[in-house]
Amino acid sequence: MSGLFGTLSIALGALQAQQAGMQTTTNNLANLNTPGYSREVPILEEAAPIVQGNVTFGGGVELEGIQSLRDNLLDLQISDETQQQGNSQAYVNAMNQVQTLFPDDTTGIGAQISAFFQSLNSLSTDPSDLTLRQSVLTAANGMASAFNSTANQITAVSNQLDSSVQQQVQQVNQISQQIAAINVQLAAVSSTGQDYGSFLDQRGALIQQLSGIIDVSQIIDGTSLTLTTKQGAALVVDGQAYALSTATDASGAQHIYSSQGNDITGQISGGALGGLLQVLGQTLPSLQGQLDSLAGGMVQALNTANQEGTDLNGNPGGNLFDPITGAGAAASMTVAITDPALIAAGSDGTPGSNGNLANLSAVANAAVSNGMTPSGAYGNLVFQVGTSISNGTTDLNASNAMLQQLQQQDSSVSGVSLDEEASNLLLYQRAYQAAAQAITTVNQMLETVIDMGASGSS
């Protein structure tokens, strides 16, 4: 229909549309600082035109709906980069605790190894001197306890990381449940044809959180979502969350199991869990192994050397350290003797002979562990720990930079701009005022028409 009433209805439609715009703008402003929020815009369309004879009139405006602005591809990239960042961050944090156990200067195993061999040289100047002999024993004990405490502290770090793994898995389960719950609501809302942008925002924010903890792969089909680990262990399928579980194996190491009971510990490569598992599964065992090899190698070489000589009483030398090799050697390294006279410094049974000290000292230059000297093997450990952290830090910095860039890109699509919203506010306000003015005018015109009729009948 046309005429004044038609015009009035166009003006009313305009009022509604501008009001919707105003509401959207206000909602954007309200969520200015909400993490994961994507800005919304009203979708306005021309209403169907009205044709009268040869003339076509515009039908006004219609509010099609509210649209959230987001870039799904960017979201996926951010999720991937977040996984790498979480991985590097957890790795570097864990290894930083380990690094302090391998100092390169005047403390730690390296310094104790040095002190032990220096004490042997000192004893060679007066092999029958009990004070110098006691100094060798003291240095040997110092060296053993440096190995003990370093190995024990690595174990302590390892235990602590194990409990971190448990906590992180719990958090994965918690977030999976939240995502599943949102999926249920999302399905309900989308089936009624209402706007579900805010649910997508919430879900996206949770997926990013999850990406910080574990590697996730997402399959999105409309509103339906399947979340799995990169290797395919299910986390969320639509409204259903699948919980991961942890269990400790015989050696005390944490294992992670999928909801179907498969051990997926070795498959997790991203997020904080990926970093933790790399430290727990590879870096720490390798360091422990080398430390054990060094301790075991030194014990064996020093015992052999001591057995070649004669002690202060003229008797053949025995073990200097309790014989140990293999796993646990560093943690259990113990000096076997408490009597300084039992150090086999001599080579001819006389108390004044220092002939066997050369054999003991030669261990300092012998290949005791993987072809390396004691001090060399320790230096190599320092190098490995340092390299693992500096590489991890390089990865972390790269991820941070990449993530920052991606987030800026994302924000350029989805971020709320105060300036933009301010101008929209004005725009909608003015349009609303104009539409209201149109209604007033039409109203006056109708009054005129009604007055016209009244004066005609009177």
Return d(Cα 365, Cα 376) in angstroms, integer: 9
Q: Which of 163, 325, 390, 437 binds another protein (CB under 8 A)?
A: 390
Query: In the window 86-145, what residues touch another protein (CB under 8 A)?
Result: 96, 99-100, 102, 104-106, 110-111, 113-115, 117-118, 121-122, 124-129
Question: Cβ closer to another protein: 274 or 374?
Answer: 374
Is 208 near another protein (CB under 8 A)? no
Residue 358 contacts another protein per CB under 8 A: yes
Beta strands in 113-242 (DSSP E): 216-221, 224-229, 234-237, 240-241
Q: Is 380 in the site for another protein (CB under 8 A)?
A: yes
Contact call for residues 452 and 4 (beta carbons, < 8 A): no
Q: What is the DSSP letter of 311?
A: -
User: Which member of 78, 180, 210, 416 binds another protein (CB under 8 A)?
Assistant: 416
Of 343, 319, 299, 365, nearest in space to 147 by CA: 299
**Residue 427 binds another protein, judged by CB under 8 A:** no
**One-letter amino acid identity for 352?**
G
Q: Taking the complex as a whole, how short is the minimal distance between the CB of residue 296 and another protein, in angstroms?
A: 20
Short-list 2, 124, 93, CA closest to 52:
2
- In sequence order, which residues have a C-beta less than 8 Å from that of residue 32 and are 6 or more positions away? 416, 418
Chain Cα centroid distance, residue 328: 31
For residue 169, state whether it binds another protein (rule: CB under 8 A).
no
Which CB atom, from 195 or from 420, has the smaller least distance to another protein?
420
Give the whole-angstrom CA distance, residue 169 versus residue 298: 41
46 DSSP β-pair partners: 61
Number of helices (H), then strands (E), belonging to the chain: the values are: 11, 10
346 binds another protein (CB under 8 A): yes
Stretch that binds another protein, among 19-27, 57-65, 185-193, 402-410 (CB under 8 A): 402-410
**The only residue of 217, 265, 353, 359 in contact with another protein, by rule CB under 8 A:** 353
Q: Which of 38, 93, 202, 361 binds another protein (CB under 8 A)?
A: 361
Choose among 85, 95, 94: nearest CA to 209. Answer: 85
Q: Determine the distance from the C-alpha atom of residue 268 to the mean position of all C-alpha atoms in its chain, rounded to a whole number.
A: 12
Q: Which is nearer to another protein, 218 or 424 (CB)?
A: 424
Binding another protein by CB under 8 A: which of 72, 408, 440, 448? 408
According to the binding rule CB under 8 A, does residue 71 interact with another protein? no
How far apart are alpha carbons 298 and 256 in whole angstroms? 37
156 or 401: CB nearest another protein: 401
The Cα 287–Cα 391 span in angstroms is 16
Residues forming contacts to another protein in the complex (CB under 8 A) are: 96, 99-100, 102, 104-106, 110-111, 113-115, 117-118, 121-122, 124-129, 346, 348, 350-355, 358, 361, 365, 375-376, 378-380, 382-390, 393, 400, 404, 407-409, 411-413, 415-423, 425-426
